[in-house]
Amino acid sequence: MKHNAHGRGRGRIALGAVAAVTGVALTLAGCGSSSGGDDDKAASAIPTGGTDDGTSLTMWSRAPLEKQATNAVNEYNKTHKNQVKLELLPNDDVEGKVGAAVQTGSLPDILAGDVVRVPYWTEQGIFMDLTKQIDSLPEKADLQSGHIKAGTVDGKEHTLPFVTDISVMVWNKDLYKEAGLDPDKGPTTLQEFEDQAMAVAKLGKKDVAGTYLAGQSGGALVFTLFPMIWGNGEKAINDEGTESLMASDSAKKLYAAYADLAKTPNGLGAGSKEETGATWTAPFQNGKIGVMQYPATAVSALFDTSKFDIGVAPIPGVDGGSSTFLGGDAIGVSKDSKHEAQAWNFLSWLMTEDAQQKVFADNNDTASNLKVLENGYKDADPRTVIANSTIKDGQTPIAVNFNEAFNAAGSPWQILVQDAVWGDASKVDSDNDAITSTLGQ
């Protein structure tokens, strides 16, 4: 499973996804700014709550979020006259499919996408302006704001939260016991993280390593490493999304810890340097990793199936504190929809407490409604509750060129991590300058 990122500061709850999008540039020829009058006019005709009259709607979502997307569509279709037909797109096909549809006017009625790509899509006019409808939602004050902010251009709102994914620290309690560590205590600082990973590495067990890093996946790297900077009270990029701050003293300490692990036998799992993100969760899932940052959606699926006991905690800051990468997908009505009122009926329904409970909370997934997050997990696994508690301290970075600077294959961020952990760490400052240059393009 691949991961991505996007965000602006530390909002009440800024959400985002995880599963990476391809680095292929999206060409949106003939598609103007999202603030155009045609979109505004069309949106203004949508009645409050939308229309449920038996219309057939089309929807695209990313394949890694099949569980959540399918649950949402199935629950809606069971209780409404409108029927949504869901198409799941492989990660690597998203950009090409959306780009081609833009040029032919064939986008689906409802489009969900990685929150890190949403700012670019919104600026290119892919989504309909839904400011009036979003502002009139009874639940708006209770929704996490990151996915709304990601789709806001010139004060006009185009998207809502769809699927929320968060990054957490996980550890193998069985390996911790073998290594003489307290199985109930995960790391609370970078030093503790390194020490605990080293302790597992020193077990010398075949195919077992202290930790794991997706060295060739920029998206997974932001999902796992940014929270250790945020937890320290620092920023990874500036609020304008135009400057990288990942050459700070704290960032260099972070890279140095991984470099130490990379030089230690069994410190970093085999394949870390080459990992593209396609299999980066598998080593922990298979019981081969002591401790690492991990997507909450992926670890919750292991609670009932894993052969070893799993610990879950917030990701610690370099010197303490904690944070999480608020990932996931945002959702909106596309500019090509001829059924705006019906599509809005689906979106507005999904924001209700009842839908958030049934679709997300009841399935051990993270809701986007704060009231449900607070009250809807009484019967959930305690580790899910721990994961949800990290959201208040989480962030989602927002930048129009985030994908090119961080997530794309061969991005300057990916090069920085390769240099810092496995190569020449003296290049970090110049590599960081290259990220800034890409952000400002």
Pair 308, 174: CB distance under 8 Å: yes
pLDDT the model gives residue 424: 97
Could you write out the DSSP letters of every residue in 403-416? IIIIISTT-HHHHH
Which of 360, 411, 292, 264 has the alpha carbon at shortest distance from 72? 360
What is the pLDDT averaged over residues 404-428? 96
| pLDDT, tens digit (0-9, with 9 covering 90-100), for 104-141 | 999 999 999 999 889 999 999 999 999 999 999 999 99
Computed over every residue of the chain, the mean pLDDT equals 89
0.85 exceeded by pTM: no
Residue environment code for 106-122, b if the CB has 16+ CB neighbours within 10 A, otherwise e:
ebbbbbbbbbbbbbbbb
Tokens 């052969």 map to which residue? 307
pLDDT the model gives residue 393: 86
| pLDDT, tens digit (0-9, with 9 covering 90-100), for 176-214 | 999 999 999 999 999 999 999 999 999 999 999 999 999
Pair 130, 344: CB distance under 8 Å: yes
Q: Is the pLDDT of residue 13 over 50?
A: no
- Dist CA 124 CA 110 (whole Å): 16
| pLDDT, tens digit (0-9, with 9 covering 90-100), for 315-363 | 999 999 999 998 889 999 999 999 999 999 999 999 999 999 999 999 8
Residue 212 backbone phi and psi in degrees, to 5: -145, 150
| pLDDT, tens digit (0-9, with 9 covering 90-100), for 45-63 | 788 899 999 999 999 999 9
Pair 282, 207: CB distance under 8 Å: no
Structure tokens at 319: 């010197």
Q: Is the pLDDT of residue 9 over 90?
A: no
- Dist CA 121 CA 428 (whole Å): 30
In CATH terms, the fold of domain 37-165+327-383 is D-Maltodextrin-Binding Protein; domain 2 (3.40.190)
| pLDDT, tens digit (0-9, with 9 covering 90-100), for 58-109 | 999 999 889 999 999 999 999 999 999 999 999 879 989 999 999 999 999 9
Instruction: Give residue 289's region: left, alpha or beta (phi > 0; psi -120 to 50).
Output: beta
Which of 234, 253, 183, 242 has the alpha carbon at shortest distance from 405? 242
What secondary structure letter does DSSP report for 94?
Answer: H
Residue 25 — very low, low, confident or very high, per pLDDT cuts 50/70/90?
Answer: very low
Pair 86, 136: CB distance under 8 Å: no
Residue 146 — very low, low, confident or very high, per pLDDT cuts 50/70/90?
Answer: confident
Residue 19 — very low, low, confident or very high, per pLDDT cuts 50/70/90?
Answer: very low
Select the more confidently predicted residue: 399 or 8.
399
Residue 56 backbone phi and psi in degrees, to 5: -90, 125
Residue 314 backbone phi and psi in degrees, to 5: -60, 155
pLDDT the model gives residue 263: 98
pLDDT the model gives residue 184: 97
Q: Is the pLDDT of residue 1 over 50?
A: no
Pair 364, 164: CB distance under 8 Å: no
Q: Is the pLDDT of residue 3 over 70?
A: no
pLDDT the model gives residue 11: 32
Domain with CATH 3.40.190.10 in the chain: 37-165+327-383, 167-325+399-439
- Dist CA 179 CA 85 (whole Å): 50
pLDDT the model gives residue 22: 29
In CATH terms, the fold of domain 167-325+399-439 is D-Maltodextrin-Binding Protein; domain 2 (3.40.190)
Residue 44 — very low, low, confident or very high, per pLDDT cuts 50/70/90?
Answer: low
Beta bridge partners of 397: 7
Residues 6+ apart with CB under 8 A from 44: 132
The type of residue at 135 is D
